[in-house]
A and B are shown apart, each in its own frame.
Chain A
Amino acid sequence: MMLLSIVALPLLGALITPLVSRRSTAILPALIAGAIGITVVSVLLSQAPDVLGGAILIGHYPWLPGIGLSPAFRLDALGLFFALIIAGMGLLITLYAHFYFAGKHGAVRFHSLMLAFMGAMLGIVTSENLLFMLVFWEMTSLVSFVLIGFHQDERPARRGARMTLVITGGGGLALMAGVLLIGNSVGSFQLSDILAPETALTSDPLYPWMLGLVLIGAMTKSAQFPFHLWLPNAMTAPTPVSAYLHSATMVKAGIFLLARLHPALGDTDAWLYSISTAGMATLLTGAFIAMFKHDTKELLAYSTVSHLGLITLLVGLSTRMAMVAALFHLLNHALFKAPLFMMAGAVQKATGTRDMRRINGLWRTLPALTVISAVAAASMAGLPLLGGYLSKKMFFIESMNASVMPPLQWLTPALAAIAGLFSAAYSFRIFHNVFFNGKPQDLPVWPPKNPGVGIQVPAAVLALAVVLVSWHAESVVHGLIGPVASAAAGSALPDYDMHQLHHIGTAFFMSLAAMLGGLLVYMAREPLFRLYDQLPPADAREIFEWLMTRAGGTAERLVHALENGSVQRYIALIILSAIVLAGPVLLSGIQWHGGETMTPVDPLTGLGLVLLMASAVGVVLGHHQRLFALLLLGSAGLFVTLTFARFSAPDLALTQLSVEVMAVIIMMLALSFLPQTTPLESSRLRKGRDLGVATLGGLGVGLVSFAIMTRPHSTIADFFLSQSKPGGGGSNVVNVILVDFRGFDTLGEITVLGIAAVAVFALTRNLQLKDRIPQERDQYWASNPHPLILRTMARPILPIALMVSAYIFLRGHNMPGGGFIAGLITAVALSLQYMAGSLAWAHERMLTPFRPLIGLGLLLACGTGLGSLVFGEAFLSSWFGHYKLPLLGHLELATALLFDLGVFTTVVGATLLILANLGKLMTVHGPGKEIG
């Protein structure tokens, strides 16, 4: 429960905040967020002694264990370290944001999103199940999308948000593929199994794929070159977002992932070279570009990119102590970068701009902030004895320990020193430019106003933390970083030798050179800026937008090429894919004849089947003469009916017969409004192609059918056969299946029927077909619309037909029959009245409109189902009993009969609704009068 609350509390808070503080712009949302932050931090701290001592807390919450999907949380030293940064930093940011938004309207939305983000980040670092980690991972991408686009009405904000989503979302997809590969290989998605020493992922043949895909996920999230683009563009977000997501937390998720999976995937050459190359490229690019940015937040963004590169490089180096250096630098970076972002936000509030060419000499206005920033910037520059200096020196030492590319092993330390030089230069720049360097120049807000004490407090806390960590570096490294690094490495590491940091050796001189070089570069900045401006402009954002437009265009063309409006093409493609998928299996040498002896052909059945085929072929050959083809189609239906009857399916035969009658009537009605002939327009090639597809399809289906029929029959029917009488109370098993065993299916079935009928009703409404029927055709179709004999015969037939229908309905449970069939018979009998009389004549005599009939039937069926709930049984359980009644004799009553009555009513209503509305089109009233 404790582990669950770490993730659940912020997520819950995210939901609650907008509810409780809908109209207030007051302090409430910040209070909620703050309270949750404090709670989470204290829960984490209460576990810290155990966890740092090496304990791994795991909480399982079974959900879908069958497919390995159970939320499980895990708190070990590594997770605790990140969780503390996330929750602690979140707490400070909440405070900062409260003053930043200062009761403005967006505050509620911001705090809610912030809590959602915090919950998702905590989820990433405490997930035991990798699949759940993926969910949280995607959640951070989505929430950061919304947060970057916080000012939705600004175009750069939207573009920046979209770029972030595309890059981190794409990385998320890659990561998902990687995780699936890993889970597939290990056979479990639980970290305990994946990180277990006996797991040998690195020798898996798919290892390069796993590593590559996971790496893409990590690199996109942690803004590694060449995916770093989104981070500077994400600076359109409000500053609290930049300080939290883009310096302290989200961008560290990729590094967390690498550290987390290091025991399973690390310690190979592929790991070393791919990660350290990416890290080094990022470190250099970021540091170089940062120096030349005039916008405070953009400078900080590129500097973040560069520091992330440094940490990634360390994780990649995999030397014995590199993990310690990486994690220590990660801590330092979070501590010094966030106050600098907070400073940028406060300065923007004070001056109205972030342009360092205009902001100068603010030390008079903001003395406290000057001190805070001095500490943070000094740590970032790596000035001696501050945290940044120590971790950077660790980095220099590790870069020399690592023997990357043996003949060129000097390359890594050399590049590291160059990056350090630029890093020092931009650190000097952001501090000196903002607070000193002469006087401010035409600021939008003049004179600069003091943004207040509150907004500076969180930054001050962090600056104090920088000093404390630097002061107690040894205990921090031994007490906190050591256990965390051991957890990341998967085995206990020895204590880091802190004395080498105070040793005056190569690393010391590297630091010194970087510092002095940085100072020189900063002093020479004016000519350097001019030089930089002369470089060819390569706006990555434009390239990205161009790529996006191109991708969109290509997708559109592809869709147009595939989806040209031709139904034939779609159907042909579907059938062809079925043939391509199934064909090879059929041709793979399996025995078509399954070995069962075939029943002998008796002449009558054989003749029926031959006539069936002849009718079907006749439909195809004669389909240009539509009426003729339709008659043959009806004959095919009749032979299908006979086939069912012959092979022991009386229910099917009855159903097919009545359906066939109705279907032919409907098509006949439609045909009177459509062309009577189909023009001969298919080309020879087209016909050949279609014939080929049809032959292959028919051959395939026929072969499969043959293969099935000649194989031994194994079925679950025995259950139905044995339970029909004792369980369902009926001896017609087909009907008992329909109304009892599989009653739920039938309920769905009649619902579909009802919907189709109502759709027909809606489509025929206002359908103007009158002008489609020319006079001379009227003659042909309706010279004698209601023949006398038919009219006379139809009336006495009706009561007889209804009686038959009632009989079929009642006996359905025990003998062939039932609601479907009885409903269709009734519908046929009634539609005969429509044909024999006129539509208006028949309709006047209808007792009820049809649409309510459909509803009634569905209600009856549902009600019967729900009724069983009243008796504590499952939905649609049936009940039956036997009674002896006077006159009627023995009678069996079953609730299934009620259900079947619902089926009956729906079928009658739906069928007549369809038929009457189609017939209506023929009448002089046209669509004017509504029927049904």
Chain B
Amino acid sequence: MEALYAIAVGVLTACGIYLVLRGRTFPVIMGLTLLSHGVNLFLFASGRLALAAPAVIGESADPTDPLPQALVLTAIVISFAMTAFVVVLALRAAVELRNDHVDGVDPEEDWRP
């Protein structure tokens, strides 16, 4: 299971990296989301994978590590806030610059959605 999980983390990260390296805003935003999925799963796994052992006292005899969970929980909320912010930033940039490039080229391109 650990091997499969690690592969999933790797695939998510790789997909995220590939997308953040694209030259337009929207793929980059999607890439950031995938990347944060990968990172969250990675952090979460540092508490090891346990089945049916939630960190609630009295629920299981050997509860799993709650600390990474608490970290990841806040990370999820923060990355949501960041996604929202980046999305609006992309919109604002699209209006002000009249294009959605993030690759430094400045084409004379006026898009219509």
Contact = CB atoms under 8 A, between A and B. Distances in A.
B13 A655 contact: no
Interface string A805-847: 0000000001110001000100000000000000000000000
A757 B81 contact: yes
A697 B8 contact: no
A204 interface: no
A725 B59 CA distance: 13
A702 B4 CA distance: 10
Interface stretch (A305-313, A400-408, A732-740): A732-740
B108 to A, nearest CB: 15
Contacts of B112: 675, 772, 774
Contacts of B54: 648-650, 816
Given A565-B104, A568-B103, A626-B26, A674 B90 contact: yes
Interface in B40-61: 40-42, 44-60
B80 to A, nearest CB: 5
Contacts of B87: 666-667, 670, 918
A752 interface: yes
Interface stretch (A35-43, A275-283, A601-609, A787-795): A601-609
A917 B87 CA distance: 12
B91 A742 contact: no
Interface string A748-763: 0100110011011001
A745 B74 CA distance: 9
Contact of B88 (A568, A742, A763): A763
Interface in B60-76: 60, 63-67, 69-70, 72-74, 76
B12 A705 contact: no
Given A733-B56, A814-B56, A619 B20 contact: no
A703 B85 contact: no
Interface in A407-427: none
Interface string A608-631: 011011001101100100100110
Contact of B34 (A601, A605, A619, A705): A619
A90 B89 CA distance: 58
Contacts of B10: 698-699, 701-703, 705
Interface residues of A, number: 120
Contacts of A646: 51
A617 B1 contact: no
Contacts, number: 331
Contacts of B41: 640, 643
Contacts of B46: 708-709
B91 A706 contact: no
Contacts of A756: 81-82, 84-85
Given A701-B38, A772-B113, A816 B77 contact: no
A715 B95 contact: no
A742 B66 CA distance: 12
A206 B28 CA distance: 48
A152 interface: no
Given A613-B8, A702-B13, A815-B56, A659 B113 contact: no
A927 B4 CA distance: 48
B22 A749 contact: no
Interface string B13-44: 11111111111111111100110011011101
Interface in A705-752: 705-706, 708-710, 713, 715-717, 720-721, 724-725, 731-734, 737-738, 742, 745-746, 749, 752
Contact of A734 (B6, B73, B76, B81): B73
A476 interface: no
A767 B54 CA distance: 46
Interface stretch (A167-175, A353-361, A364-372, A687-695): A687-695
Interface residues of B, number: 89
Contacts of B13: 697-698, 701-702
A875 B86 CA distance: 33
Given A675-B111, A705-B45, A695 B14 contact: yes
Given A648-B54, A715-B65, A759-B85, A567 B102 contact: yes
A656 B82 CA distance: 15
Interface stretch (A119-127, A243-251, A676-684): A676-684
A652 interface: yes
A697 B6 contact: no
A163 interface: no
A655 B30 contact: no
Interface stretch (A317-325, A481-489, A569-577): A569-577
A759 B8 CA distance: 34
A676 B19 contact: no
B57 A659 contact: no
Contacts of A675: 24, 26, 100, 111-113
Contact of A698 (B17, B59, B74, B113): B17
Contacts of B45: 705, 708-709
Specify the main secondary structure of chain A where it touches its partner.
Answer: helix
A814 to B, nearest CB: 7
Contact of A670 (B5, B7, B72, B91): B91
A9 interface: no
A772 B95 contact: yes
Contact of A738 (B4, B34, B70): B70
A608 B99 CA distance: 38
A662 interface: yes
A698 B9 CA distance: 8
Nearest to B40: A640
Contacts of B95: 767-769, 772
A682 B22 contact: yes
A601 B113 CA distance: 45
A674 B113 contact: yes
Contacts of A760: 84-85, 88
A710 B14 contact: no
Instruction: Output the residue of A681, A709, A907 with the most chain B CB within 10 A.
Output: A709
A757 B83 CA distance: 11
Contact of A907 (B53, B70, B77, B91): B77
A600 interface: yes
Contacts of A571: 20-21
A598 interface: yes
A671 interface: yes
Interface in A632-668: 633, 636-637, 640, 643-644, 646-652, 655-656, 659, 662-663, 666-667
A355 to B, nearest CB: 57
A763 to B, nearest CB: 5
A777 B112 CA distance: 10
A914 interface: yes
A682 B28 CA distance: 14
A705 B9 contact: yes
Interface of A: 564-569, 571-572, 575, 598-602, 605-606, 609-610, 612-613, 616-617, 619-620, 623, 626, 629-630, 633, 636-637, 640, 643-644, 646-652, 655-656, 659, 662-663, 666-667, 670-676, 678-679, 681-682, 690-691, 693-695, 697-699, 701-706, 708-710, 713, 715-717, 720-721, 724-725, 731-734, 737-738, 742, 745-746, 749, 752-753, 756-757, 759-760, 763-764, 767-769, 772-774, 777, 814-816, 820, 824, 907, 910, 914, 917-918, 921
21 contacts: A566-B104, A568-B20, A610-B4, A613-B12, A619-B15, A648-B63, A656-B76, A674-B26, A682-B22, A702-B11, A705-B6, A710-B2, A733-B55, A738-B73, A752-B81, A756-B85, A760-B88, A767-B92, A820-B73, A914-B88, A918-B84
Interface of B: 1-30, 33-34, 37-38, 40-42, 44-60, 63-67, 69-70, 72-74, 76-78, 80-85, 87-92, 94-95, 100, 102-105, 111-113
Given A606-B1, A613-B8, 14 more contacts: A568-B23, A616-B11, A649-B64, A667-B29, A667-B87, A670-B88, A694-B18, A706-B6, A713-B65, A717-B65, A721-B57, A734-B55, A734-B66, A921-B91
